[in-house]
Amino acid sequence: YLPEAAHPYWVLAPHAKIDFAAPAGPNPEVDEGSLQAYLNDEGSQKFLKDETVKSKLANAKKLTEVNVKDYDAIFYVGGHGPVIDLANDPENAKLASQFYQSGKIVSAVCHAPAALVGAVDADGKSIVAGKKFTGFSNVE
């Protein structure tokens, strides 16, 4: 979902190395509805036109290519993509688990906490078990 990638990108990019990753790798789809809904959103439009962002998206890694040791955190962008593509993806569950078990930041916005349902700690227990966290439901 466009602004859920764009807005955090502009906050984090000056301070951290950012790469994109998706199950299929390069050029992950952007929700068409968000493209239309945020035509007048400056941060989103800047994101779509930025040459660095375009290059990062064109060179997005497959989830299987992400090395946890190369990053301080993982951030899941919201929208229905994480619900549909990541919630039941074993490679995603493995990746999120590796970040968590390495003591790194595992974060998600809006619908994206769905991407964490398969992530487990070193004992095989869900990383969200017994924790309070926020998300965005379809009802909302």
For the chain, the first-to-last Cα distance in angstroms comes to 16
Q: Is the pLDDT higher at 136 or at 101?
A: 101
In this prediction, residues 128-139 reach a mean pLDDT of: 80
Of 79 and 133, more confident: 79
Tell me how far apart the alpha carbons of residues 63 and 95 are, in angstroms, rounded to a whole number.
Answer: 7
Question: DSSP 3-state assignment of 25?
Answer: coil
**Tens-place pLDDT, residues 36-60:** 999 999 999 999 999 999 999 999 9
**Average pLDDT over every residue of 75-102:** 95
Q: Which residues, at least 6 apart from 30, have a Cβ–Cβ distance to it below 8 Å?
A: 1, 2, 5
pLDDT tens, position by position, 59-87? 999 999 999 999 999 999 998 889 999 99
For residue 139, pLDDT over 90 is answered with no
Is the pLDDT at 140 greater than 70? The verdict is: no
Does the structure show a pLDDT above 80 at 126? yes
Q: Average model confidence (pLDDT) for the chain?
A: 94
Rg (CA), the chain: 15
In total, the chain counts a number of residues equal to 140
Confidence category of residue 101, pLDDT binned at 50, 70, 90:
very high
At residue 132, the pLDDT reads 86
d(CA 74, CA 12): 12
